[in-house]
Copies of this chain bind each other. A is one copy, B any other.
């Protein structure tokens, strides 16, 4: 994102403030966290906070951006314009989704904070969109839904996936990433593809 290289001090300040907010969010709700607290915890002057962020919500959104960037890495190698048809292609899709879930699991503490907040679906959807949005156009053109329906069907499938990941985190990731990845893909396609497209390999 920042084109120009960041000052060493800025890097330090931002790192400290981010860590501080995450720590505080484990203790209490964001709405009860003050800028003063964040700065005291990070041992950074409050005025410096204002030099970089508007308020705690703004800071949180930057933490979200960081996580998004990391997830993005797993998608770089994945060609989104291919609708899986062969066994090999299904395996590739499954691997990609599994990798992302593995990443969420490895960073469970932060992810639960960001993804599992019942009052904050916004971020969850952003993550899902990262994965599925490039698919959309290709998928719907192969379905038997009417044009008007397609947007809603997509919305259903996308938000549905968010719901699964939320529940998985709620259950402390009791199921394997592979199991969840399979279920995610299976349900997503069960919805987005038309009847004629239902893949035997998914059932």
Contact = CB atoms under 8 A, between A and B. Distances in A.
Contacts of A98: none
Give the copy number: 2
Interface in A89-124: 118-122, 124
Interface string A51-82: 00001010000000000000000000000000
A88 interface: no
B156 A163 contact: yes
Contact of A203 (B55, B155, B166, B195): B195
A166 B191 CA distance: 18
Contact of A121 (B121, B191, B203): B121
Contact of A155 (B148, B155, B167, B175): B167
A21 interface: no
A151 interface: yes
A203 B198 CA distance: 15
B164 A155 contact: yes
A163 B152 CA distance: 8
A153 B121 CA distance: 18
A172 B149 CA distance: 15
B167 A151 contact: yes
Contacts of A161: 156
B167 A163 contact: no
Given A148-B175, A158-B163, A159-B163, 20 more contacts: A31-B57, A118-B122, A119-B121, A120-B121, A149-B183, A151-B167, A151-B171, A152-B164, A152-B168, A153-B183, A155-B160, A155-B164, A156-B161, A156-B164, A157-B160, A159-B160, A159-B164, A160-B191, A190-B191, A195-B203
